[in-house]
A and B are shown apart, each in its own frame.
Chain A
Amino acid sequence: MSSTSDETRRQQEVRLRATWAAPKGWRYFSAVNNTVVGVWYLTGTFLFLLFGGVLALLIRTQLAVPDNDFLSADLYNQVFTLHGSVMMFLFAVPLFEAFAILLLPQLLAARDLPFPRLSAYGFFCFAIGGIFVCGSIFFDAAPRGGWFMYPPLTTAIQQDVGADIWLLGLSFIEIASIAAAVELIVGALKCRPPGMRLGLMPLFSWYVLVVSIMILFAFPPLIAGDIMMELERAFDWPFFDPERGGDPLLWQHLFWIFGHPEVYIIFLPAMGLLAMIIPTFAQRKAVAYNWIVLSAVGIGFLSFGLWVHHMFASGLPAISLGFFSAASEVIAIPTGIQIFAFIATVLAGRLIFSVPMLYAAGALAIFVIGGLTGVMVAIVPFDWQVHDSHFVVAHLHYTLIGGMLFPVIGAIYYYYPLIKSRRLSEKNGRVAFWFLFIGFNVTFLPMHMTGLLGMPRRVFTYGSIDGLDTLNLVSTIGAFVIAAGVLLVALDLFRPKSAVPFSPRNPWNAGTLEWLQRMPGENWGVRSVPLVSTRYPLWEQENFVADIDAGRFYLPDAEEGKRETIVSTVADARPLQCLRVPGPSFMPMLAAFFTGGVFVVATFHWWWTALLLGVAALLVILAWLWTGTALIPREPRKNVGLGLTLPVYRSGSASVSWWAILITMLADLTAFASLVFGYFFFWTVHEEFPPAGNPGPGLAWPLAAAALITTSWLLTCLARNRNRADHASGFYVSLALAATGALAGAGALLAGPLEHGMQPTAHAYDAIVWLLVAWVGVHLVPAVIMQFYCAARRLAGRMTPGCDIDICNVTLYWHFLFITAIATIAIIAFFPLLT
């Protein structure tokens, strides 16, 4: 350990504080620190929870008595649709992102996440999309088709703007989720402190990693479905219209391929929070760490094999239902393991029953009941009996409130000292807990009965039938008791706390790195990036906190005034790079504003305005990239302390941005695979596909497109190599030819269906071929822009043979584009020959 005088340390802290300071005053919303963006996210999700909660109270008021006319049928439809959508898309999933952005750097003793501006961009997308969707109800224009928006109700019958608001507003929010997932995966894999190999990662980090990967593969199918449905609604492309070869069941598949993993995307992070809370209050290490990781990974994968259990009543063959029923039973195994591991930790430790632990216990009790009814509805004959009844409403609320809301409120009480350096009221927390716990059971336990008695979901009223009246009234009373509990939590959160003393440091005597934070907190995250050799370093590593505070580890200073963190290897966290991350900027907010504008105005079919906003968004994003990414450092290496010198700039697969592109393109490829699924789904359900007499796109134009796009891809690879060899003319000529080939390839691809007279409104076959072709075309446009961008970077001296992040990343994008284009051409040109 290096020794430094008190004065040196003080000066180091002054420089660190200045470098990591969050902007104040009118520049406040240019902040990108994870500690600030995470709090914005948490506040935003909590406000949406309150809004969704008010909608729930409206539902319960309407259902309090039979034949009630408190809400009209139409308004009731808007209210329950918005309630489900808000709770799922604007509360449950973003809350994971909020906690992960706030906590992950602290858990990993990193200074920040690798792409802080991307976090800020994601937040603004979330906020804009959320306000747009929620605001629609005040104009009597909210979506009315249920949170799953089944066609043909939402395509042929509900022609108003509500469904468009849902499709475009929430698609925009899905982009925010994918942006956060990219950030968090790279953060968990590449930004761990030296020594923290995978097996030493805090359990919440494992959950963040698994859930982020799930988001990558779960959200794109919904985006693909959204595109299809919006094309049907706006341009009459008949993907879901049986009269013209479409099939509404395709939407159900795409929706639930997203929708079921989403349940686990919501549930797993909450379990991750419990995995942090329970060991602290048991004052011992988590029992069966490996088994808990097994559960997280196992659930993450298995959850993708359950989607049809939401479609048991849709008329699929019984054998198909059998596969999904079996998979739905299997997932109980890792879920149970996880819960037993938590209980074992409690039993093996010396339990302190503080407020967060109270919520953790309540969560386990409620979730177990929800899990058991889940096993019941996974059995097909039982599901047929209770399908679309209030029994399912009870089941899903036991699962989501037990599996998510209770752990989250516990985590808010647990982590509040990290957010505001003060503790919430212990007494208030306990009172709120009992309101919530009793209110919850009073509300939802009777719904099992109303469901078994045959009360359907999503129907705005009911007749006076024995049993239903009383049980519904009880549920409504319970809902208001829950509301009182939430109100108590909200009052505790938002009341002024200047009179409340600062919390002591590490107030719960936890063992993990986030509790290194001083009280009041500093924006720099961790005073010096430590060497970690245990899972609970605050408990197990001698003199650990003192050494960190004294700046005896890595990066104790910010001599150049740059924001820096350490990048390490995936498996064993060997330091690889001193990464410089960008500071405050309004670019993310502006970019989100313009991209959000595209989605908002497209809802009303103002296509020219949407185009203008799209161009504005593109220009802002280019300016953001130009000024803030892949900056060439003055010195190529930096001494980060303890005698270690690391490179400041790394490109190719050693660069975090290369990983980000790789992860983003995996999500993109998943969306493309969902469109391909659509093509083959139509082939499965039609006796003749392509329909007789339909010429398809032919062979000549698709083959020409394949040749041109392949050439363009090879030329892009060549341009990367020419740049590395410092062969400027070879680089520019290759890129110019590649761009020309790409544009010509796009033209050839479009010429196939165009020349053969394929009409996307005529039949689902024409529509899906046009969609696949358009998908490639839409990807070729940014590919060409990227090629020009690389040429400009080199011309401006911002990219050199040794500092070539831009062209490496563009080449990676092109690898994926090449796969997408060739797969598209093989499907549209050659598959019809086989049939």
Chain B
Amino acid sequence: MNDAAQKHDLPLWLLAVPVAAWGLHFLASYVLAAVYCAKKSTVDTALSTPIGPLRGWILLFLVVTLAVIGIAAWQAARVRGRSSEHRTGGQKSVVASVLLLLCALSSAATIFITAVPFAFGDCRQ
């Protein structure tokens, strides 16, 4: 790789950003729900403990997560377009291409997780 291509490529660790963002969203949603239900309800009161208040928080997590993934995707798209000009045979940056794909996968996975609290109404076990 020549110097120009190197300057326009992305570091390897960026691949972790979208999937780590998904992971943090997942953990935050799970921990919030687990702690909420553990602290607010018992086995006897689980059915009458609504999870409504959680939904707003989990939606907020979604917005933040999608914003992080969006920034990573924008970086990937930008570099992917540029890098081909600097490489032998016009090859595109693999890191940028894979990052773009991971952003798509992570977005889908995050939306999947966000849908969960809308399918449940309470802390039932």
Residues in chain A near residue B117, CB distance under 8 A: 319, 322
Question: A301-B20, A572-B6 known; A323 and B125 CB under 8 Å?
Answer: no
Which residue of B39, B93, B123 is within 8 Å of A319 (Cβ)? B123
A-B contact count (CB 8 A): 115
Residues in chain A near residue B115, CB distance under 8 A: 326
Residues in chain A near residue B30, CB distance under 8 A: 320, 323-324
Report the minimal beta-carbon distance from A247 to chain B, rounded to whole angstroms.
Answer: 11
Interface band, chain A:
35 or more
Tell me if A298 and B33 are in contact (CB < 8 A): no
Question: A297-B98, A317-B37, A685-B38 known; A333 and B105 CB under 8 Å?
Answer: yes
CB-CB nearest in chain B for A314: B125
Tell me if A323 and B113 are in contact (CB < 8 A): yes
One digit per residue, 1 when the CB lies within 8 angstroms of any chain A CB and 0 when it does not, for chain B 74-89 equals 0000000000000010
CB-CB nearest in chain B for A195: B1
One digit per residue, 1 when the CB lies within 8 angstroms of any chain B CB and 0 when it does not, for chain A 321-337 equals 01111110110011000
Tell me if B33 and A323 are in contact (CB < 8 A): yes
Tell me if B113 and A294 are in contact (CB < 8 A): no
Question: A197-B1, A199-B94, A317-B123 known; A323 and B29 CB under 8 Å?
Answer: yes
Q: Is A762 an interface residue (CB 8 A)?
A: no
Which residue of B6, B26, B101, B112 is within 8 Å of A290 (Cβ)? B101
Question: A289-B94, A322-B116, A323-B26 known; A297 and B34 CB under 8 Å?
Answer: no
Counting chain A CB atoms within 10 Å of each CB, the highest count among B1, B91, B93 belongs to B1
Residues in chain B near residue A315, CB distance under 8 A: 125
Report the minimal beta-carbon distance from A248 to chain B, rounded to whole angstroms.
Answer: 16
Which residue of B34, B91, B95, B98 is within 8 Å of A320 (Cβ)? B34
Q: Is A54 an interface residue (CB 8 A)?
A: no
- How distant is the Cα of A322 from the Cα of B51 in the complex, in angstroms? 13
Question: A198-B95, A319-B116, A572-B6 known; A333 and B26 CB under 8 Å?
Answer: no
Tell me if B34 and A533 are in contact (CB < 8 A): no
Tell me if A293 and B94 are in contact (CB < 8 A): yes
Q: Is A23 an interface residue (CB 8 A)?
A: no
Tell me if B12 and A294 are in contact (CB < 8 A): no
- How distant is the Cα of A291 from the Cα of B105 in the complex, in angstroms? 11
CB-CB nearest in chain B for A213: B16
Q: Is A571 an interface residue (CB 8 A)?
A: yes
Residues in chain A near residue B15, CB distance under 8 A: 297
Q: Is B19 an interface residue (CB 8 A)?
A: yes
- How distant is the Cα of A333 from the Cα of B104 in the complex, in angstroms? 11
Tell me if B46 and A317 are in contact (CB < 8 A): yes
CB-CB nearest in chain A for B9: A571
Residues in chain B near residue A304, CB distance under 8 A: 23
Residues in chain A near residue B5, CB distance under 8 A: 572
Report the minimal beta-carbon distance from B125 to chain A, rounded to whole angstroms.
Answer: 5
Question: A329-B112, A333-B108, A685-B38 known; A294 and B19 CB under 8 Å?
Answer: no
Which residue of B12, B105, B113 is within 8 Å of A327 (Cβ)? B113
CB-CB nearest in chain A for B93: A199
Report the minimal beta-carbon distance from B29 to chain A, rounded to whole angstroms.
Answer: 6
Residues in chain A near residue B26, CB distance under 8 A: 305, 323, 327
Which residue of B19, B29, B38, B46 is within 8 Å of A684 (Cβ)? B38
Chain B contacts with A in 87-125, Cβ cutoff 8 A: 88, 91, 93-95, 97-98, 101-102, 105-106, 108-109, 112-113, 115-117, 119-120, 123-125
Tell me if B116 and A334 are in contact (CB < 8 A): no
Tell me if A297 and B11 are in contact (CB < 8 A): no
- How distant is the Cα of A327 from the Cα of B109 in the complex, in angstroms? 7
CB-CB nearest in chain B for A189: B12
Tell me if A326 and B112 are in contact (CB < 8 A): yes
Tell me if B95 and A199 are in contact (CB < 8 A): yes
Tell me if B37 and A199 are in contact (CB < 8 A): no
Chain A contacts with B in 306-323, Cβ cutoff 8 A: 315-320, 322-323
CB-CB nearest in chain A for B114: A326
Report the minimal beta-carbon distance from A170 to chain B, rounded to whole angstroms.
Answer: 27
Question: A318-B125, A319-B117 known; A302 and B19 CB under 8 Å?
Answer: yes
Q: Is A137 an interface residue (CB 8 A)?
A: no
Tell me if B101 and A291 are in contact (CB < 8 A): yes
One digit per residue, 1 when the CB lies within 8 angstroms of any chain A CB and 0 when it does not, for chain B 1-38 equals 10001100101100110011011001001100111011
Residues in chain B near residue A291, CB distance under 8 A: 101
Report the minimal beta-carbon distance from B71 to chain A, rounded to whole angstroms.
Answer: 18
10 inter-chain pairs at a CB distance below 8 angstroms, sorted by A residue, are: A198-B94, A297-B19, A300-B19, A301-B20, A302-B22, A317-B33, A317-B125, A318-B120, A322-B116, A323-B113
Beyond contacts A323-B30, A572-B9: 14 other A-B pairs, Cβ-Cβ < 8 A, are A199-B93, A289-B94, A301-B20, A317-B124, A319-B37, A320-B33, A320-B37, A327-B26, A330-B108, A333-B109, A334-B105, A571-B9, A572-B5, A684-B39
Which residues of B approach A to under 8 Å, CB–CB?
1, 5-6, 9, 11-12, 15-16, 19-20, 22-23, 26, 29-30, 33-35, 37-39, 46, 51, 54, 88, 91, 93-95, 97-98, 101-102, 105-106, 108-109, 112-113, 115-117, 119-120, 123-125
8 cross-chain pairs, A with B, having the tightest CB-CB distances, nearest first: A199-B94, A301-B19, A322-B116, A294-B101, A572-B1, A317-B37, A330-B109, A326-B112
